[in-house]
Structure formats: C-alpha cells, structure tokens
Amino acid sequence: MADKKKDYKERLLNAFPESLKQDAIVVIDILPLDNCMVKLCDGETHKVDNLIHSSTITVQLNGKLLIIPYRLYFNEPDKEKEDKLTEKQKTILNCIYLRHHNGFLRQERLERLADSKEYWVIPFTFQLLGEYVFEILEVLEKHVNEKNIENYIRYKLENPRCFQQTESRMISYWNEYYRRPLFPKLKDYIGKKLIDRIKQQKTTA
C-alpha cells in the first residue's frame, strides 16, 4: 500500500506546475489515499483497488506539460485538516476534486472556484466543458466570465487539440442527453454557448 500511495502522490503532483509543488504536497498529505473503502455513486461503500484511474489528460500550461488524472475515487479529506489550508492550498484541493467520479462533488468543488482567476486552475475547469452534467455547466458559466475569459483563450491557444476534443465531446453529450426534447438546436445548449464564448473572444495579448 505504501508504494501505491507514493504513486498516487507523484501522479497528483504531475497535475500541477512546479511552482506549486510545495503547496500541492501539503494538500496531498491530507488526502485519504490509504483508505480503499470508498463511497461510490450508488451510496454504498465499496473496496476500490485503484483510487486514481489509469487514464490521464495531458495538457500544456505556460509551455510545460501537465498530466492530470482522468478520474479519482478517494474520499474527501477531514474537514478540520482542510480548514487549516491556505487559500492557495484550498484552490489546489478543489481542483483535484474536479476530477472526482461523483458529479455532485465536482459541482460543489467547482462552486468554490467561481471567483478564482489563477491560470493554473483552467486545465481543471476547462475539462468540465465536456461534461454531461447540466448543473456543472450552469456553475461553470459563472467562471467563464469577463474576469478570466483571457485565461480560457490563452489555454485554448496552448491546447488546440484538447479544445477540439472537448468541443466534440460536448456536442456528443448534447446529442445523447439534451437534444430531445430540451435543446433541439445546438446553439441554444449551454455547453455550446460556453465554447462559443471562448472561441469568439479575441485575446488582447
């Protein structure tokens, strides 16, 4: 278990810029990575062999590669430990849980990031544009605003392939879950509006 926990820590560290390493270590140290009994979406507790899915998302941030886990399964940390984190560390923690398997938890953690203007948050929030959970997109709409739209544009320019893949995934989920009967026209779907908001803006850089 010790080797697996070490592997988990290394993989989570790879999801953040080197400049955040010390803060990320503090955050990762309060995660329950030694507890394989996890409450899953069915409301029941199950033994999970791998708390971090093997699939990853590789992106560029300021010219450096970040490797972000596709899905996480570990529980939330102890609240008292979380409350002792700095604001930056809490932001890192919230980003980590945006990759959690539980959509309700992803939504809750995203709401805590609504006012964040940090560029390194974007790789985590951007992935949610391709999610099927409508309520998450509603929260995300508050984040893709005039205060940080430049960050999303910058991220799109750094990661054109990722942007295209996310847009395609968004369209697929619209077609599968929301085209009938809610949004017959793609242009009326919130995911499409958010993607277009980023595409239509011109960077001032």
Position 127 scores a pLDDT of 95
**Taking a C-beta distance cutoff of 8 angstroms, is the pair 204, 150 a contact?**
yes
pLDDT at 205: 43
CA atoms within 13 A on the CB side of 182: 9
**Across the chain, what does the average pLDDT equal?**
93
Strand, coil or helix: 47? strand
Q: What is the pLDDT of residue 139?
A: 94
Lowest-confidence pick of 40-49, 67-76, 182-191? 40-49
Confidence band of 48 (pLDDT split at 50, 70, 90):
confident
Average pLDDT over residues 117-123: 97
pLDDT for 202 beyond 80? no
Using CB atoms within 10 Å of the CB of residue 90, give its burial: 0 to 12 exposed, 13 to 18 middle, 19+ buried: middle
Across 160-189, average pLDDT: 95
Give the domain ranges of the chain: 1-112, 116-205
Mean pLDDT of 84-113: 97
- Show the beta-strand stretches assigned E in the chain: 37-39, 45-47, 56-61, 64-69
What is the average per-residue pLDDT within 181-186?
94
pLDDT at 150 over 50: yes
* pLDDT given for residue 44 in this prediction: 76
- Tell me what percent of the residues of the chain surpass a pLDDT of 70: 97
Q: How far is the C-alpha of 34 from the C-alpha of 28, rounded, in Å?
A: 12
Contact 15, 70 (CB under 8 A): no
pLDDT tens digit string along 49-64? Answer: 899 999 999 999 999 9
CA angle 52, 97, 168 (to 5 degrees): 85
pTM beyond 0.75: the answer is yes
